[in-house]
Amino acid sequence: MIPLAKPTITDDDTRAVRVVLESGNIATGSVVKEFEGRFSEYIGKKHAIAVNSGTIALYLAVRVLGLHRVILPAITCPEVLNAVVHAGAEPVIVDVEESTHNLDPDQLRGDRVRGADAVIITHCYGHPARMDEIRDTCREEGWTLVEDFAQSTGAVYRGKRCGSLGTISVTSFYATKSLTTGHGGMILTDSDETERLLRIARGDDAYQYLENFAPLNLKMTDFQAAMGIRQLGRLEEFVERRSRVASMYRDRLKDVEGITLLQERDGVRNCYYKVVAMVSGTSKETFISRMRERGVHIGIGYDPPLHLTRIMTSRGRTAGHLPVAERCAAEGVSLPVFPSMSREDVDRVCGAVREVLR
């Protein structure tokens, strides 16, 4: 079976983890600090605070900044919505653009977004969102821009790294991400005060409290950080390899009817967390199960879209009100992509696609 995703773990990672394990200092210490320093420098933000997941990174960002009404795109992973709700903010879910599945900047106007105080953008599947327009709107409206670059560590928007563009930014180092520590996450900010509050909220000193918030232990361990440092050193290579796989797909599938890869915009570098396509002429479920019969694991994408999850339907959201996202969820599938994927693997996937869609 060709898997959908596969982490690239080398002797370099295992050696670094072993050094920490053998040191006896295995909780949160100097290695986490080193990872934070290297990561903030790589992204281009003053501070980085390591935590135990991307969900927690986003939860803490929303909670510590005291955000109340937060706009987010309908096509992204449910953890984004869950983090917002747990942090006590009201989610406002808006439609996406069909070409990249990213938040559509034109949706940041009108009654639906009235009263919002923040936008979370997610650079869906590794392709940067239209940040110039989104940032202009945030500036005009006085909204906080939360940049969730969990899917785009290593991606670049008009010469700037994803993660450097928000008021605050968060990422995930989950097993399938472009840089992994198993589980893990990071919050980045240029504000000294926000950094101080985040370190308290993360549980650095359980005797210190934020207003209405008792700290929890949400830290990363030194052995995860050791792996993160090694992975960061190979991130550029990972992104290049993922890009090569994506361009092979683009080349081999361009004339195949019934499958259309998402668009690439000029001026961005996609890190290809996922390679996503829209399938037509056959149902997504049929496509996925027939690909599975041929030994290829295909991802179902973000289905249902977030406005049709139970959290949102219980708040009165119904089908039909974000039509583009509903189409993306109905027709979007993801193809296998990981740095060690070979040309033969890509040929096998594309051969199976041709057979299934014939």
What is the footprint of ligand PLP within residues 107-126 (CB under 6 A)?
122
Window of 25-33, 109-117, 148-156, 239-247 that interacts with ligand PLP by CB under 6 A: 148-156
220 lies in the site for ligand PLP, by CB under 6 A: no
Q: How many CA atoms lie within 13 A of 177 on its CB side?
A: 27
Instruction: Please state the closest distance from residue 78 (CB atom) to ligand PLP, in A.
Output: 9
Tell whether residue 58 is a contact of ligand PLP (CB under 6 A): yes
Total interface residues for ligand PLP by CB under 6 A: 16
Residue 174 touching ligand PLP (CB under 6 A) = yes
Find the shortest distance in angstroms from Cβ 80 to ligand PLP. 5
**Closest approach of ligand PLP to the CB of residue 119, in Å:** 14
HSE-CB for 134 with a 13 A CA cutoff: 26
Tell me which of 7, 54, 105, 154 binds ligand PLP, using CB under 6 A.
54
Q: Cβ of residue 253: shortest distance to ligand PLP, in angstroms?
A: 24
**Site membership for ligand PLP, residue 70 (CB under 6 A):** no
Examine residue 185 and tell whether it contacts ligand PLP (CB under 6 A). yes
Q: Which amino acid is at 249?
A: Y
150 near ligand PLP, judged by CB under 6 A: yes
Q: Compare residues 174 and 223 and give the one whose CB is closer to ligand PLP.
A: 174
Shortest distance, position 352 Cβ to ligand PLP, whole Å: 26
CB 196, min distance to ligand PLP, A: 24
Task: Report the residue number, 80 or 357, with the smaller CB distance to ligand PLP.
Answer: 80
CA 286 to chain centroid: 27
String of contacts with ligand PLP for each residue 77-96, x by CB under 6 A = x-xx----------------
Q: Which residue is nearest to ligand PLP (CB)?
A: 54
According to the binding rule CB under 6 A, does residue 128 interact with ligand PLP?
no
Residue closer to ligand PLP, measured from CB, 227 or 352 = 227
**Of positions 28, 40, 55, 144, contacts ligand PLP by CB under 6 A:** 55
As a three-state string, the secondary structure of the chain is CECCCCCCCCHHHHHHHHHHHHHCCCCCCHHHHHHHHHHHHHHCCCEEEEECCHHHHHHHHHHHCCCCEEEEECCCCHHHHHHHHHCCCEEEEECECCCCCCECHHHCCCHHHCCCCEEEECCHHHCCCCHHHHHHHHHHHCCEEEEECCCCCCCEECCEECCCCCCEEEEECECCCCCCCECCEEEEECCHHHHHHHHHHCCCCCCCCECCECCCCCECCHHHHHHHHHHHHCHHHHHHHHHHHHHHHHHHHCCCCCEEECCCCCCEECCCCCEEEEECCCCHHHHHHHHHHCCECCECCCCCCHHHCHHHHCCCCCCCCCHHHHHHHHHEEEECCCCCCCHHHHHHHHHHHHHHHC
For ligand PLP, the binding residue among 172, 189, 231, 270 (CB under 6 A) is 172
Is 76 a binding residue for ligand PLP by CB under 6 A? The answer is yes
Output the CA–CA distances (angstroms, integers) from residue 178 to 203, 229, 251, 347, in the order listed: 27, 13, 23, 22
Nearer to ligand PLP, 31 or 77 (CB): 77
Q: Does 148 bind ligand PLP (CB under 6 A)?
A: yes
Contacting residues toward ligand PLP, per CB under 6 A = 53-55, 58, 76-77, 79-80, 122, 148, 150-151, 172, 174, 183, 185
